[in-house]
Chains A and B, each alone.
Chain A
Amino acid sequence: AQTVTQSQPEMSVQEAETVTLSCTYDTSESNYYLFWYKQPPSRQMILVIRQEAYKQQNATENRFSVNFQKAAKSFSLKISDSQLGDTAMYFCAFMKHAAGGSNYKLTFGKGTLLTVNP
């Protein structure tokens, strides 16, 4: 079974600064997918960024980027130029690849509460 660990329950950052949220995972799979979801106070779950394990290049989406270290099983999220609207709970999630069909199940970490201060 896969496990996802987010070791930082809470973090804070000043507006316009950069912050990095950590995520590690444990799996015996060689092919899988990793995601970061954001949950603002409104409770809606929003996909932030995704990474395929077979791709060496780190994914980027505007101010959001990841540092994917496959050998270390690490998948950190960097938020540049933090904005007040980035205040949210951030969840790291894992999905394994299943040849011949998949149920696309996600395994979530426990989350990191990020507060952006003005």
Chain B
Amino acid sequence: NAGVTQTPKFRVLKTGQSMTLLCAQDMNHEYMYWYRQDPGMGLRLIHYSVGEGTTAKGEVPDGYNVSRLKKQNFLLGLESAAPSQTSVYFCASRNRTGGYNQPQHFGDGTRLSIL
């Protein structure tokens, strides 16, 4: 009953370093999303995917790349980390079926600090 699992939970990077955040879901969901949450800003959509092998830009995609090579995994990459990318990152997933009322299922977040 894992649901949506994000790895790692915490990370500190230096400016210019790269890293990949992993999101894994075991619910066979087609749709997956990456958000960032900043104080006073709510959650903002970075990228999303409507199925394996497909990705699309969200509201704030600059500085990030994503890949969905497997249905259960959605990776968020930072090629050259910047202090402005210090944030809490959330992954979410949902089923294709069930209509609009189906909720997005969220992971517990990754706190990322860029020094």
Q: Which residues of A contact B (CB under 8 A)?
A: 4, 6, 9, 33, 35, 42-45, 47, 50, 52, 91, 95, 97, 102-111
Q: Contacts of B41 on A, CB cut-off 8 Å?
A: 110
Interface residues of B, CB < 8 Å — how many? 24
Question: With A43-B88, A45-B92 as given contacts, are A95 and B50 in contact (CB-CB < 8 Å)?
Answer: no
Q: Is the CB of B42 within 8 A of A108?
A: yes
B31 at the interface (CB under 8 A from A): yes
Shortest C-beta distance, B97 to chain A (Å), equals: 11
Chain B residues 92 to 111 lying within 8 A of chain A, measured CB to CB, are 92, 94, 100-104, 106, 108-109
B48 at the interface (CB under 8 A from A): yes
Best-surrounded residue of B43, B45, B92 (most CB of chain A within 10 A): B43
Q: Is the CB of B42 within 8 A of A95?
A: no
A to B CB contacts below 8 Å, 30 in the list: A4-B42, A6-B42, A33-B100, A33-B101, A35-B103, A44-B108, A45-B43, A45-B90, A45-B106, A47-B103, A47-B104, A50-B101, A50-B103, A52-B101, A91-B42, A97-B100, A103-B31, A103-B48, A103-B50, A104-B31, A104-B100, A105-B33, A105-B48, A106-B33, A106-B43, A107-B45, A108-B42, A108-B44, A110-B41, A111-B42
